[in-house]
Chain A
Amino acid sequence: DSGVTQTPKHLITATGQRVTLRCSPRSGDLSVYWYQQSLDQGLQFLIQYYNGEERAKGNILERFSAQQFPDLHSELNLSSLELGDSALYFCASSVYGAVRGEQFFGPGTRLTVL
């Protein structure tokens, strides 16, 4: 158990819909990262937040957005869903600046778009 929690575990929805994925980082971690794992794209970095502020953006679509709240949990919002958005979405957290780069991953949310 990494200490990072993600809900829901599974999500099945239809094209065109909007969903929200939630992540709670490890206690004390200020940085949250979102990654997408799909068969065709592999594991890709989407976005990073540090203490409520966006820090880095990767291959995140404009239809996707994220935020980190004052209690440090984060949400990834996916809208106008397409079949190709079906993937495993991971959240990771780290203590920014300490043991640099060591990220702890949650169990993931498996999104299926029908």
Chain B
Amino acid sequence: AQSVTQLGSHVSVSEGALVLLRCNYSSSVPPYLFWYVQYPNQGLQLLLKYTSAATLVKGINGFEAEFKKSETSFHLTKPSAHMSDAAEYFCAVLTSGSRLTFGEGTQLTVNP
């Protein structure tokens, strides 16, 4: 079964520092992978998606992710954190049919 694992339930960075949120996937077939963000008391918003077109995927708000088959990873990065990036981030994989299977989530804190 396809699944994703997010390493680190909490990540804390300083404003202006690099953001790195880790996601590893398990899949026997080429996966469709996604990163979603959830701001407090809001729904999930799609940041970016990998659908095998390009290994480096650029998303909204300056985020990007790189698909690395050799490492079965799809880590999310942003060069410079803003206070407004504080939120919970979910990695997800498209599984049987068109359901999304989510990771456990990573809470990002940005310190001034």
- What is the interface of chain A, defined by CB distance below 8 A to chain B? 2, 4, 31, 33, 35, 42-45, 48, 55-56, 58, 90, 92, 94, 96, 99-108
- A105 adjacent to B43 (CB under 8 Å): yes
Comparing B11-19, B54-62, B71-79, B95-103, the segment that makes contact with chain A is B95-103
CB contact under 8 A between A100 and B43, given known A45-B100, A94-B98? no
- B46 adjacent to A104 (CB under 8 Å): yes
Output the nearest chain B residue to A2 by Cβ-Cβ distance. B43
Q: A-B pairs with CB below 8 Å: how many?
A: 63
- What is the interface of chain B, defined by CB distance below 8 A to chain A? 32, 34, 36, 42-46, 49, 51, 90, 94, 96-105
Shortest CB distance B90–A (Å): 7
- A31 adjacent to B98 (CB under 8 Å): yes
CB contact under 8 A between A48 and B98, given known A42-B105, A101-B51? yes
- B43 adjacent to A103 (CB under 8 Å): no
Bound complex: CA of A106 vs CA of B38, how far in Å? 11
CB contact under 8 A between A56 and B51, given known A42-B105, A43-B90? no
Q: Which of B32, B42, B49, B97 has a CB less than 8 Å from the CB of A48?
A: B97
CB<8 Å pairs between A and B, sample of 22: A35-B100, A42-B103, A43-B102, A45-B99, A48-B98, A55-B97, A56-B96, A56-B97, A90-B44, A96-B98, A99-B51, A100-B98, A101-B32, A101-B34, A101-B94, A101-B98, A101-B100, A102-B34, A102-B49, A103-B98, A104-B46, A105-B44
